């Protein structure tokens, strides 16, 4: 039987993009090169050495001496679900600090595993008030887990964690932290902040493609999982089984994504070559320049001063401006991707991302220049050069 010819691809090559949304971010050429190395078996002794190196590099980025560090095969949501399904058994009480879209995702996951979920909902676009957690914890005697998001991607909030951690410790509860958007771009002091489990994602500040969730697990959390009375609801995301493959008995668990792990190793090396403090400062400077440029043309930030996240800058869409039209013109005319609002901010906000390889002065200026050209065409007048000029002053220290 003669086979019909293959259809002609409508997009034979992925077009170039400047990724300035909430993720994925730009990928360093060294990371892409690392993914082109020879294939190797997931139990090969040389690959085990590569896994050991990744674990050690993760310890340095998570700023931990004692935690078990490894990478789950899945995106950041796999890290979230792994923590919830491994740390919580049916009936366990979990108190969740809710102040954005991805906080709500935790509630959904914890409800599915049959936990006693206690969500404390605060205003979107503002930091979570610790006094709300303190008041709620006083109502319970058996809280097993407290959760929070370090960098709420939907609202651009950088949430202080030390106070929440102290409250969790005072009530003998474990503390789980989402570091999807912060790891590699903000300080993540796992040991000093008393965190028991944290997870991130490769496609944000680590400058790698999506596909892995780097995690850190305290000895207390690991012991809690091993001593459960019931098995975790997810076999694939069982943190104890994954930790056993990565660092203990090397018991086969699943076919590891070899090329992605090679990419993560290179991405982590790039992070540490730059230096954590230098990397954090770069993110802050570029975000400050972006905010200055946007404010110079009258665009207002969602997050309040003092809690603004350097990686994600959500802004209120000016009244009368078509959300979709601006994003479409940025993409089709300038090859720049930005993010739309989620949840309560859907249709009301844009989200600009400056993460990892996307956090570069040239991208800040390209975005602002493009907006200066687009906004007057959709009915929002701006002073020509005002945004770029204000950002340039910040970038040059003027």
Give tens-digit pLDDT for 354-365: 999 999 999 999
- Rounded to an integer, the average pLDDT of 17-31 is 97
Pairing between β-strand 197-199 and β-strand 212-217 as defined by DSSP bridges: antiparallel
Last residue of a domain, one of 273, 307, 322: 273
Q: Do both 225 and 335 map to the same domain?
A: no
Cα–Cα nearest to 270, from 21, 40, 26, 68:
26
> If pLDDT is split at 50, 70 and 90, which confidence band does 2 have?
confident
Mean pLDDT of the chain: 96
Residue 8, pLDDT score: 86
* For residue 398, pLDDT beyond 80: no
* For residue 12, pLDDT beyond 90: no
Strand partners, 157: 152, 308
> If pLDDT is split at 50, 70 and 90, which confidence band does 5 have?
confident
Q: Per the domain annotation, does 21 fall within a domain?
A: no
Report the percentage of the chain scoring pLDDT > 70. Answer: 100
Strand partners, 121: 98
CB 195, CB 218: distance < 8 Å = yes
Residue 3, pLDDT score: 84
* For residue 250, pLDDT beyond 90: no
Q: Do both 263 and 340 map to the same domain?
A: no
Last residue of a domain, one of 251, 273, 295: 273
Residue 128, pLDDT score: 97
Q: Do both 211 and 86 map to the same domain?
A: yes
Conformational region of residue 370, where left means phi above 0, alpha means psi within -120 to 50, and beta covers everything else: alpha
CB 168, CB 162: distance < 8 Å = no
**CATH code: domain of residue 167:** 3.40.640.10
**CATH code: domain of residue 332:** 3.90.1150.10
Q: What is the dihedral of CA 213, 350, 122, 224, to 10 degrees?
A: 0
Q: Do both 159 and 170 map to the same domain?
A: yes
Q: Do both 162 and 200 map to the same domain?
A: yes
Q: Per the domain annotation, does 28 fall within a domain?
A: no
Strand partners, 349: 316
Report the greatest alpha carbon distance in the chain. Answer: 73
Tens-place pLDDT, residues 276-328:
999 999 999 999 999 999 999 999 999 999 999 999 999 999 999 999 999 99
Q: Per the domain annotation, does 18 fall within a domain?
A: no
Domain that holds residue 243: 35-273
Conformational region of residue 91, where left means phi above 0, alpha means psi within -120 to 50, and beta covers everything else: left
Q: Per the domain annotation, does 219 fall within a domain?
A: yes
- Rounded to an integer, the average pLDDT of 5-20 is 89
- Rounded to an integer, the average pLDDT of 244-259 is 89
Residue 50, pLDDT score: 96
Q: Per the domain annotation, does 3 fall within a domain?
A: no
Strand partners, 98: 121
* For residue 79, pLDDT beyond 90: yes
Q: Per the domain annotation, does 4 fall within a domain?
A: no
* For residue 204, pLDDT beyond 90: yes
What gap in Å lies between CA 234 and CA 163, rounded to an integer?
31
Q: Per the domain annotation, does 298 fall within a domain?
A: yes
Q: Do both 209 and 294 map to the same domain?
A: no
Q: Do both 233 and 279 map to the same domain?
A: no
Q: Do both 191 and 292 map to the same domain?
A: no
* For residue 338, pLDDT beyond 90: yes
Residue 316's φ and ψ, nearest 5 degrees, are -75, 130
Residue 309's φ and ψ, nearest 5 degrees, are -80, 135
Specify the length of the chain in residues: 398
Residue 216's φ and ψ, nearest 5 degrees, are -130, 135
Q: Do both 222 and 139 map to the same domain?
A: yes
> If pLDDT is split at 50, 70 and 90, which confidence band does 261 have?
very high
What gap in Å lies between CA 42 and CA 321, rounded to an integer?
51
Residue 21, pLDDT score: 97
* For residue 150, pLDDT beyond 90: yes
Strand partners, 18: 336
Q: How many C-alpha atoms does 115 have within 13 Å on its Cβ side?
A: 31
Residue 384's contacts (CB-CB under 8 Å, 6 or more residues apart) are 372
Number of separate domains in the chain: 2
What gap in Å lies between CA 353 and CA 364, rounded to an integer?
10
∠ CA 120-313-309, rounded to 5°: 60
> If pLDDT is split at 50, 70 and 90, which confidence band does 115 have?
very high
Q: What is the dihedral of CA 293, 299, 300, 302, to 10 degrees?
A: -90
∠ CA 31-195-287, rounded to 5°: 50
What gap in Å lies between CA 328 and CA 330, rounded to an integer?
5
Helix residue spans in the chain (DSSP H): 29-34, 45-62, 76-87, 101-112, 130-137, 162-170, 219-226, 239-247, 258-274, 276-296, 323-334, 361-374, 386-395
Residue 59, pLDDT score: 98
* For residue 230, pLDDT beyond 80: yes
CB 389, CB 296: distance < 8 Å = yes
Residue 160's contacts (CB-CB under 8 Å, 6 or more residues apart) are 127, 307
Q: Do both 240 and 308 map to the same domain?
A: no
> If pLDDT is split at 50, 70 and 90, which confidence band does 6 have?
confident
């Amino acid at each position: 039987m003669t086979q019909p010819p293959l259809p002609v691809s409508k997009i034979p090559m992925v077009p170039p993009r400047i990724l300035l949304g909430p993720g994925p971010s730009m990928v360093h050429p060294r990371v892409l090169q690392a993914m082109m190395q020879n294939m190797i078996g997931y139990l090969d002794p040389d690959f085990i050495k590569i896994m050991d190196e990744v674990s050690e590099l993760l310890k340095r980025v998570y700023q931990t001496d004692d935690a078990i560090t490894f990478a789950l095969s899945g995106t950041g949501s796999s890290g979230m679900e792994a923590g919830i399904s491994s740390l919580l058994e049916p009936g366990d009480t979990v108190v969740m600090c809710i102040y954005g879209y991805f906080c709500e995702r935790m509630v959904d996951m914890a409800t599915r595993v049959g936990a006693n979920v206690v969500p404390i909902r605060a205003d979107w676009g503002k930091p979570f008030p610790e006094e709300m957690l303190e008041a709620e914890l006083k109502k319970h005697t058996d809280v097993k887990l407290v959760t929070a998001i370090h960098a709420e991607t939907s609202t651009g909030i950088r949430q202080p964690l030390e106070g929440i951690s102290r409250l969790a410790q005072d009530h003998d509860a474990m503390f789980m932290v989402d570091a999807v958007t912060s790891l590699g771009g903000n300080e993540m002091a796992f040991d000093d902040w008393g965190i028991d489990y944290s997870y991130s994602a490769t496609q944000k500040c680590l400058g790698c493609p999506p596909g892995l969730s780097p995690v850190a697990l305290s000895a207390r959390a690991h012991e809690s999982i091993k001593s459960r009375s019931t098995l975790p609801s997810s076999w694939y995301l069982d943190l104890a089984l994954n930790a056993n493959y990565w660092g203990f008995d090397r018991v086969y668990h699943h076919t590891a994504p070899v090329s992605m792990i090679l990419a993560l190793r290179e991405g982590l090396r790039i992070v540490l070559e730059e230096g954590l403090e230098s990397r954090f400062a770069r993110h802050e400077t570029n975000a400050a320049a972006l905010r200055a440029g946007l404010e110079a043309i009258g665009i207002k930030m969602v997050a309040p001063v003092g809690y603004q996240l350097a990686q994600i800058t959500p802004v209120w869409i000016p009244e009368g401006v078509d959300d979709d039209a601006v994003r479409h013109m940025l993409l089709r005319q300038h090859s720049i991707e930005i993010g739309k609002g989620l949840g309560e901010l859907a249709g009301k906000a844009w989200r600009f991302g400056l993460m990892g390889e996307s956090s570069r002065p040239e991208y800040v200026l390209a975005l602002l220049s493009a907006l200066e050209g687009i906004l007057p065409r959709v009915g929002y007048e701006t002073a020509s050069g005002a945004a770029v000029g204000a950002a340039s002053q910040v970038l040059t220290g003027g």
